[in-house]
């Protein structure tokens, strides 16, 4: 069994053992989906993107990348619902870096932490913009 301290991260203090373990498993779910590098994200930068139902199961399935709110919604949806193979297909490295300073405030803490821990360039981008 892996040690709790290796899987636990920020925000686990004060949680019961079971809650901390649930949080660690939740983080691991998102960690497994990550690409090796942001350079793998070669999704579209313009046009209309149609998401499959396993990604957009709760609402909108069509996103116009020319509309800032729709572009942000697409990225938020894919970050939360996308599987490993969905990320390079629907996300674009340059667009993600451009959106990240605002996008990071719109996604859950766990997703944000997993992405920023894996890709320090996202954190750097946020500091540059701030």
Q: pTM for this structure?
A: 0.80
pLDDT at position 15, please? 62
Q: What pLDDT sits at residue 57?
A: 74
Measured CA distances, 37 to 41, 48, 92, 113 (Å): 8, 25, 12, 16
Can you list the residues of the chain whose pLDDT is less than 50? 1-9
Q: What pLDDT shows up at residue 7?
A: 41
The residues facing 62 across adjacent strands are 50
Residue 5, pLDDT score = 37
Contact 123, 116 (CB under 8 A): yes
């Amino acid at each position: 069994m892996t040690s709790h301290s290796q899987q636990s991260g920020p925000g686990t203090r004060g949680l019961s053992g079971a809650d901390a373990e649930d949080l660690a498993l939740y983080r691991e779910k998102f960690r497994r989906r990550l690409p090796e590098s942001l350079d793998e994200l070669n999704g579209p930068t313009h046009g209309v993107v149609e998401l499959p139902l396993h990604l957009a199961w709760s609402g909108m399935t069509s996103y116009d990348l020319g509309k800032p709110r729709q572009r942000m919604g697409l990225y938020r949806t894919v970050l939360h619902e996308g599987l490993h193979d969905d990320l390079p297909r629907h996300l674009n490295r340059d667009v993600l870096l451009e959106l990240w300073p605002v996008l990071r405030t719109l996604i859950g803490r766990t997703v944000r932490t997993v992405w920023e821990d894996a890709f320090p360039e996202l954190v750097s981008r946020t500091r540059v913009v701030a």
